[in-house]
């Protein structure tokens, strides 16, 4: 079978599943679930795969809302990744419903030709991308063992070959002071909230003197019980981001120093701890991207290299990209002025453009799987490129 013929058949499979894929996207969008709580999305995607005849391992690798489905008996194995968790308050403002449905469609299309093309596909359902590090746990537990390449697609407001995905560490700073009556005996208290606020101000000053491609942002998660009680307990949550893991470690030390200084000034104790696995920066594999760019063009989408900081963020797909050749391209579902992680973007994720991104994304990913299967040395070149990147 020629490459063009294989891709035409894969596109036809996606077209045949149009109603199902759009329905899956809409149903996930309508029931937004936070990290590690994606039970409805997990069951919906697993049922769709099972109904198509695939073997599915539900609650895979010790994570209740993860799954793995496989097709093909011989040849190199390529992983197609689904994400499906949402954000607090603003739901699928990152468009993970699109990611899930596009991954489902790509998996079904690739599975339909796996035996004919002598390849294997592994469809991996990865919970808790929005801060929980689901892929990090799956990677540690062997979910990507034996995989030769991995891929997913992410919606945004541009058509890009890659996202500017930088490394991130989540830090929870817990402050402990001494409660007292704020009017009768304030001198007996040690204000934990003061420590948190002073730490925040220190970080605000630090922001002037970090690299332009680094980011620090935080919120208070505990701040006391009543104004007339000196807060004995306070907490803040921080995201510290830097382009690479090494520079992230340096920036983290500076941020923690700011937080500890605030605690010292207020006379309270502080405990800074990592809240979730560190997300690595994303290593996008150019060998794989070259195939994807051609397949995107065949779908009428011109994927361009990002100019400046077109779409900046962090993803646990970065950790996967350090282990196996990977791509994380961006598909446009919203106008350029509509940023991800906003209520307006959430509306676009369930719009006509979101539905079209599901179908186009599924085809583009499936076709890229076909290229990796059919090009005799593509995966070897991709592996060599990754090895060179890690040196």
Q: State how far the Cα of 347 lies from the Cα of 330, in Å rounded to an integer.
A: 18
Q: Are residues 204 and 289 in the same domain?
A: no
- Domain-terminating residue out of 255, 274, 293: 274
CATH code, domain with 19: 3.40.630.10
Range of the domain at 72: 3-165+281-389
Q: Residue 332, exposed/middle/buried by CB under 10 A (0-12, 13-18, 19+)?
A: buried
Q: Are residues 265 and 208 in the same domain?
A: yes
Q: Are residues 94 and 238 in the same domain?
A: no
pTM recorded for the entire structure: 0.94
pLDDT tens-digit series, residues 28-79: 999 999 999 999 999 999 999 999 999 999 999 999 999 999 999 999 999 9
CATH code, domain with 269: 3.30.70.360
Structure tokens at 383: 């592996």
Q: Are residues 297 and 319 in the same domain?
A: yes
- Domain-terminating residue out of 249, 274, 299: 274
| 89 backbone dihedrals φ, ψ, rounded to 5° | 75, -45
Q: Are residues 147 and 237 in the same domain?
A: no
- Domain-terminating residue out of 253, 274, 295: 274
pLDDT tens-digit series, residues 130-186: 999 999 999 999 999 999 999 999 999 999 999 999 999 999 999 999 999 999 999
Structure tokens at 136: 């990090």
Our count of domains for the chain comes to: 2
pLDDT tens-digit series, residues 196-255: 999 999 999 999 999 999 999 999 999 999 999 999 999 999 999 999 999 999 999 999
pLDDT of amino acid 254: 98
Q: Are residues 140 and 176 in the same domain?
A: no
Q: Are residues 156 and 172 in the same domain?
A: no
Query: Which 3-state string (H, E, C) describes 273-335?
Result: EECCCCECCCCECHHHHHHHHHHHHHCCCCCECCCCCCCEECCCHHHHHHHCCEECCEEECCC
Q: State how far the Cα of 343 lies from the Cα of 359, in Å rounded to an integer.
A: 23
| 377 backbone dihedrals φ, ψ, rounded to 5° | -125, 15
CB 163 within 8 A of CB 313: yes
């Amino acid at each position: 079978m020629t490459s063009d013929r294989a891709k035409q058949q894969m596109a036809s499979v996606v077209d045949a599943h149009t109603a199902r894929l759009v329905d899956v996207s809409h149903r996930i969008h309508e029931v937004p679930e936070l990290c590690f709580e994606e039970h409805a999305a997990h069951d919906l995607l697993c049922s769709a795969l099972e109904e198509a005849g695939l073997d599915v391992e539900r609650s895979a690798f010790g994570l209740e809302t993860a799954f793995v489905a496989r097709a093909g008996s011989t040849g190199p194995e390529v992983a197609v990744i689904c994400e499906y968790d949402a954000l607090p308050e603003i739901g699928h403002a990152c468009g993970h419903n699109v990611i899930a449905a596009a991954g489902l469609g790509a998996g079904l299309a690739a599975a339909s030709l796996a035996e004919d093309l002598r390849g294997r596909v592994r469809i991996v359902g990865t919970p808790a991308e929005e801060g929980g590090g689901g892929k990090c746990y799956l990677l540690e537990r062997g979910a990507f063992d034996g995989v030769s390449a991995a891929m997913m697609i992410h919606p945004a407001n541009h058509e890009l070959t890659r996202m500017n995905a930088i490394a991130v560490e989540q830090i929870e700073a817990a402050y402990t002071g001494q409660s007292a009556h704020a009017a009768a005996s304030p001198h007996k208290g040690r204000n934990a909230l003061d420590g948190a606020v002073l730490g925040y101000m220190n970080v605000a000053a630090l922001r002037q003197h970090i690299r332009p491609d680094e980011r620090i942002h935080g919120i208070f998660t505990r701040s006391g019980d009543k104004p007339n009680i000196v807060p004995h307990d306070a907490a803040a949550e921080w995201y510290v981001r830097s382009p690479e893991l090494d520079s992230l470690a340096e920036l983290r030390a500076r941020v923690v120093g700011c937080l500890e200084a605030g605690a010292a000034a207020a006379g309270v104790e502080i405990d800074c701890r990592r809240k979730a696995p560190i997300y690595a920066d994303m290593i996008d594999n150019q060998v794989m991207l070259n195939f994807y760019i051609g397949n995107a063009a065949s779908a009428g989408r011109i994927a361009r290299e990002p100019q400046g900081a077109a779409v900046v963020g962090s993803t646990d797909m970065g950790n996967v990209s350090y282990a196996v050749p990977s791509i994380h391209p961006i598909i446009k579902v919203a106008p350029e002025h509509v940023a991800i992680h906003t209520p307006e973007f959430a509306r676009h994720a369930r719009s006509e453009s979101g539905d079209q991104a599901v179908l186009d994304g599924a085809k583009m990913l499936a076709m890229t799987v076909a290229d990796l299967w059919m090009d005799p040395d593509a995966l070897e070149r991709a592996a060599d490129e990754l090895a060179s990147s890690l040196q």
